[in-house]
């Protein structure tokens, strides 16, 4: 009962920490009078979903002040070029390095001239050349933070086990141990079988990394790491490589020469099975990306709707409605944060188990 009260208190504190920034975000949507409200809403939502070279918490547009800090820009373009993203002044300035001019436009760095001229295609996308960009962006900072939190939590749990098998975990270890057992007993063992220990490090890593990143995305820090398709692609590729590298002879035989079916059908099934090798990781990548992106988009959309009700229809009590809707969505997003980590890890263990399973043919 005490732990339940602590959990509710913790969630309430997080909610009231998140909500002021949501209300502030809604106010920011209304600031630029030269644009329509729909354009402002779309612009803010896109900015929230995209990666950024500047760690921006929020902006006071009346004072013209950005609250945050610049991140290091690392470019490879005729040599290594390292400088601060603050030199771009949020895309308003052109940066010259080694005789080459660079412009920051919608979160991407383009090569340009001294005037910062950009050329566009028929769809409005810049056609200027881009240098190789290895910058430390906001998503990278989120990954570093999640990695630090996971190392801190699991090292404390490991120290507890080193003291003796009967010692009870303390602090963060009390939260991690039930989740570790859940991954082992509900995902790894049922799907992989007696070889589950071989894949537990990967399954634990991917589960806790996704779950931690999803939780960080609900804080005022504004991370959207798992809503970046390159991150989900990388995670899906890890599952793809492990599955196919560890696959046994039966796994490959079922793909290229399906046992127990007539020979003509073997030639029909082989291309389908090969295609299935790639559709499995593709579904992992797309499911995680789409669900997290949709969750953030819905939150931004509801905030905009409530704000428009207040500004245009003068609906009374809209602030209270905003808090109730945000609270409901916050708890829903907590469920989604866990659910997406669970689904990705469960399907990964299932794919790995299918690859290492020993078949008996009669």
> Over pLDDT 90: what percentage of the chain?
33
Which of the four pLDDT bands, split at 50, 70 and 90, describes residue 19?
very low
Which of the four pLDDT bands, split at 50, 70 and 90, describes residue 123?
confident
Helix (H, G, I), strand (E, B) or coil at 97: strand
Q: Which residue has the higher pLDDT, 243 or 333?
A: 243
Q: pLDDT value at position 48?
A: 61
Start-to-end CA distance of the chain, whole Å, equals 55
Q: pLDDT value at position 1?
A: 46
Beta strand 100-105 with 65-70: parallel, antiparallel or unpaired?
unpaired
d(CA 182, CA 350): 15
Q: Are 109 and 130 in contact (CB under 8 A)?
A: yes
Q: pLDDT value at position 350?
A: 94
Q: pLDDT value at position 180?
A: 92
Tens of pLDDT, residue by residue over 313-326, are 555 555 666 667 76
Q: pLDDT value at position 22?
A: 39
Beta strand 132-133 with 72-76: parallel, antiparallel or unpaired?
antiparallel
Q: pLDDT value at position 146?
A: 93
Which of the four pLDDT bands, split at 50, 70 and 90, describes residue 242?
very high
Q: pLDDT value at position 211?
A: 94
Q: Which residue has the higher pLDDT, 5 or 111?
A: 111
Q: Which residue has the higher pLDDT, 167 or 272?
A: 272
Nearest one of 240, 351, 330, 251 to 285, comparing CA atoms? 240
d(CA 98, CA 255): 53
CA-CA distances (angstroms) from residue 282 to 149, 210, 213, 345?
Answer: 28, 17, 20, 14
d(CA 325, CA 306): 9
d(CA 170, CA 160): 8
**Phi, psi dihedral angles at 237 (to 5 degrees):** -65, -35
Mean pLDDT of 181-190: 93
Q: pLDDT value at position 8?
A: 43
Mean pLDDT of 285-310: 75
Nearest one of 346, 361, 354 to 252, comparing CA atoms? 354
Q: pLDDT value at position 291?
A: 85
- Top mean pLDDT of 57-66, 164-173, 298-307 is at 164-173
Question: What are the boundaries of each domain within the chain?
Answer: 72-135, 140-356
Q: What is the DSSP string of 45-89?
A: HHHHHS--SEEEEEEETTTTEEEEEE-EEEEESSSEEEEEGGGGT
Question: Which of the residue ranges 2-11, 65-74, 133-142, 316-325 would you say has the lowest mean pLDDT?
Answer: 2-11
Question: Which of the residue ranges 83-97, 158-172, 201-215, 218-232 would you say has the lowest mean pLDDT?
Answer: 158-172
Q: Residue 280 contacts by C-beta under 8 Å, 6 or more apart in sequence?
A: 239, 240, 243, 347, 351
Q: Please provide the average confidence, as pLDDT, over all residues in the chain.
A: 79
Mean pLDDT of 3-11: 45
CA-CA distances (angstroms) from residue 283 to 20, 37, 265, 279?
Answer: 36, 35, 26, 6
Tens of pLDDT, residue by residue over 261-279, are 888 888 888 899 899 899 9
Length of the chain: 362
Mean pLDDT of 296-302: 71
The kind and range of the H/E element at 236 are helix 229-245
pLDDT score of 3 more than 50: no
pLDDT score of 21 more than 50: no
d(CA 181, CA 171): 17
**Sign of the torsion angle spanned by Cα atoms 162, 163, 166, 172:** negative
Q: How many Å is the Cα radius of gyration of the chain?
A: 25
pTM of the model: 0.79
Mean pLDDT of 239-258: 89
d(CA 224, CA 315): 32
CA–CA–CA angle 179, 2, 13 (5° rounding): 80
Mean pLDDT of 284-297: 84
Q: Which residue has the higher pLDDT, 273 or 293?
A: 273
Which of the four pLDDT bands, split at 50, 70 and 90, describes residue 13?
very low
d(CA 205, CA 212): 10
């Amino acid at each position: 009962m005490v732990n339940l009260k602590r959990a509710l208190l913790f969630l309430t504190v997080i909610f009231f920490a998140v909500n002021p920034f949501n209300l502030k975000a809604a106010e920011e949507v209304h600031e630029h009078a030269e644009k329509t409200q729909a354009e402002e809403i779309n612009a803010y939502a896109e900015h929230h979903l995209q990666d950024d070279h500047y760690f921006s918490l929020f902006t006071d547009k009346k004072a013209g002040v950005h609250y945050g800090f610049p991140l290091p820009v690392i470019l490879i373009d005729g040599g290594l070029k390292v400088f601060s993203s603050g030199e771009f002044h949020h895309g308003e300035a052109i940066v010259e390095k080694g005789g080459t001019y660079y412009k920051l436009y919608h979160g991407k760095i383009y090569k340009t001239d001294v005037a910062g001229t950009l050329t566009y295609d028929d769809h409005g996308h810049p056609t200027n050349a881009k240098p190789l960009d290895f910058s430390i962006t906001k998503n990278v900072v989120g990954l570093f933070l999640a990695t630090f939190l996971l190392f801190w939590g699991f090292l404390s749990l490991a120290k507890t086990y080193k003291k003796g098998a009967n010692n009870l975990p303390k602090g963060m270890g009390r939260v991690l141990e039930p989740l570790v057992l859940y991954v082992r007993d509900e995902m790894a063992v049922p799907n992989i079988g007696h070889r589950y220990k071989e894949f537990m490090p990967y399954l634990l890593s991917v589960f806790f990394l996704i779950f931690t990143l999803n939780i960080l995305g609900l804080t005022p820090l504004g991370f959207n790491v798992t809503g970046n398709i390159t991150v989900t692609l990388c995670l899906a590729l890890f599952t793809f490589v492990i599955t196919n590298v560890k696959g046994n002879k039966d796994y490959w035989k079922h793909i290229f020469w399906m046992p127990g079916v007539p020979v003509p059908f073997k030639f029909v099934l082989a291309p389908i099975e090969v295609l299935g090798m790639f559709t499995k990781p593709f579904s992992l990548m797309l499911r995680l990306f789409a669900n997290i992106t949709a969750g953030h988009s819905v939150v931004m959309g509801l905030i905009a709707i409530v704000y428009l009700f207040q500004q245009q229809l003068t609906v009374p009590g809209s602030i209270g409605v905003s808090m109730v809707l945000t609270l409901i969505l916050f708890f829903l997003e907590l469920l989604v944060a866990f659910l997406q980590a669970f689904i990705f890890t469960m399907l990964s263990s299932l794919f790995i188990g299918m690859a290492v399973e020993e078949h008996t043919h009669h």
